[in-house]
Amino acid sequence: MTPGLSLKFENMSFLTDQEKELHRMRLGCVELGKLLMQEKALDGTLVPLGLLYKPSEQGLYGELRLLPRGELFPCGFIDSGYDLRTNVPYANYFGWVVEHSRNLPVLAY
């Protein structure tokens, strides 16, 4: 994990379990998105990353994922309609994902 991205997660005892799970979900999404963007950059094919989500089901959390545009969606994932452009610095990925995942139905009910 990138240093600084943990956002001192260990010290967030004031968060509910759902908030902690959403934080973990976002961190995982960002880390994988950064790796994908780095791979695409090495290939010389810079494309925006689409924010996908898998809705939660009763008792199960959903998922968040950044996937290069033009690739097939994994089964059960829905396009949020948001694209992370190639000019966004890696350091800003977490804030971008937080902003654009606020209203996505990924927390268990």
Question: Is residue 50 in some structural domain?
Answer: yes
Q: Residue 3 has which token pair?
A: 């240093």
CB 35 within 8 Å of CB 5: no
Question: Is residue 88 in some structural domain?
Answer: yes
pLDDT score at 98? 95
Q: How far apart are CA 109 and CA 71, in angstroms?
A: 30
- Average pLDDT across each block of 10 residues of the chain; the chain has 109 residues. List them in order: 49 77 94 94 92 92 93 92 92 95 85
Question: Is residue 68 in some structural domain?
Answer: yes
Other residues' Cβ atoms within 10 Å of the Cβ of residue 76: 12
Per the structure, the complete domain to which residue 78 belongs is given by 17-101
Question: Is residue 5 in some structural domain?
Answer: no
pLDDT score at 107? 83
Question: Is residue 81 in some structural domain?
Answer: yes
User: What is the C-alpha radius of gyration for the chain, rounded to an integer number of angstroms?
Assistant: 14
pLDDT score at 9? 54
Question: Is residue 7 in some structural domain?
Answer: no
Number of domains in the chain: 1
